[in-house]
Amino acid sequence: METLVVPAGEGHAFAVSEGQKVRVITPKGQQSADFFACSAGDTSEWLSPPHTWMPTRSLHPRVGDVFLSNLRRPMLEFLEDGADGLHDFIIAPCDAIRYRQFGVEGHHRSCAENLVVAMRELGHEITAGPLAVNFFTNTVVEDGFIFSTPASPVVKPGGYVLLQACMDLTCVVSSCPYDLEGPGWAINAPGGPTEIHVELL
């Protein structure tokens, strides 16, 4: 087993072979992990939440779901949920534009930037803006509106998900750097982002 440590607010890219299992863990709890995946042979084929929820009919990832690509091919199966179902399919990854719109001046790390930097380390230049499955992100859909809830329930320390690859993949996990208090989106625990662990089994 190989363990990767994704530092707080940063990203990490790694290869996953067909049949291999991936465990993503929030050691301290309440830390969103944006999970990106593309076909190892074609970086224009990405894991796509909207394509996935069409057959599953669920706006939240659930055990047994098969995450699909933008070409509707099976990419990963969701095998185990050690985080009580607190995951999100809806929110687009944070990016520099969004932080500017929130009033942040100067540079702020983002999941979109973490994706580009991590993929560049493996020799891939990402110019599009793929979506992600947001593990450990507590969103609630009510009457057609979406909310994020900072209070109970929260993802406990050691919360995890276990996935299995259906094809050879290149994956990126971003420890979401979101740390704003004003905009009404409580994505991570107060006190700033914390690290994410990835185990390749």
Calpha distance 7→76 (Å, rounded): 24
The answer to whether residue 176 forms part of the interface with Zn ion (CB under 5 A) is: yes
The answer to whether residue 132 forms part of the interface with Zn ion (CB under 5 A) is: no
Q: Single out the segment in contact with Zn ion by CB under 5 A; choices: 95-103, 164-172, 173-181, 190-198.
A: 173-181
Q: Which of 34, 25, 9, 5 is nearest to 178 (CA)?
A: 9
Query: Nearer to Zn ion by C-beta: 131 or 165?
Result: 131
Calpha distance 35→106 (Å, rounded): 26
The answer to whether residue 94 forms part of the interface with Zn ion (CB under 5 A) is: yes
SS3 assignment, position 100: helix
Residue from the set 13, 75, 111, 198 that interacts with Zn ion by CB under 5 A: 111
Calpha distance 165→19 (Å, rounded): 5
SS3 assignment, position 53: helix
The answer to whether residue 189 forms part of the interface with Zn ion (CB under 5 A) is: no
Q: Single out the segment in contact with Zn ion by CB under 5 A; choices: 5-13, 67-75, 93-101, 147-155.
A: 93-101
Q: How far is the CB of 1 from Zn ion (least distance, A)?
A: 27
Q: Single out the segment in contact with Zn ion by CB under 5 A; choices: 9-17, 153-161, 176-184, 192-200.
A: 176-184
Query: Nearer to Zn ion by C-beta: 160 or 178?
Result: 178
Give the Å distances, CA to CA, from 66 to 9, 106, 132, 172, 196.
27, 39, 14, 18, 23
